[in-house]
Copies of this chain bind each other. A is one copy, B any other.
């Protein structure tokens, strides 16, 4: 069984990661989204075990202590982390797993999974990011300012990523993202068994 791809998706708050990932899953059954654990409060409509595993700080700290997270970060006062069991068992089944995580989390993934594919989602312009963040209406002005300042910090990490997806429209960005997944599966380095089958004729 050929293992699945581990695909990391990052990008500033408000860039549209959630909308792209939703559309990607509608377009393709070949990718699944890892469910993160977090201590942040659910937004309206978010479901425990689907959008996130919502945890108390005590519960989250117990997961850290038990080493049952691939990576975790504390960001804007909340913990976010990736449960290890889920990701590893899905990859072994040959499923392509998407992790939507923070820039620091991505670098941890790169160390643990050198074959992971790292994608950074960018808005068409910085002004557009600010606009989208305000239109979301889920954060107050202080939080928006903090997220924008954080976005500028995150841009410093872009060159550590493999691909940049420009989110002009959700539809185009989703299709471009799926192209990356398809192309990566065709990489020579991921098809050694196939190559061997032709070299041993």
Contact = CB atoms under 8 A, between A and B. Distances in A.
Interface of A: 120, 122, 126, 152, 155-156, 158-159, 161-166, 176, 179-180, 182-184, 186-188, 191-192, 194-195, 198-199, 201
Contact of A158 (B120, B122, B158, B195): B195
A199 B120 contact: no
B188 A164 contact: yes
A194 B155 contact: no
B201 A120 contact: no
Contacts of A188: 120, 158-159, 161-164
Q: What's the number of copies of this chain in the assembled complex?
A: 2
Interface of A, secondary structure class, is helix
Nearest to A200: B155
B187 A162 contact: yes
A201 B195 CA distance: 46
A192 B164 CA distance: 10
Nearest to A190: B164
A3 to B, nearest CB: 17
Contact of A195 (B159, B183, B191): B159
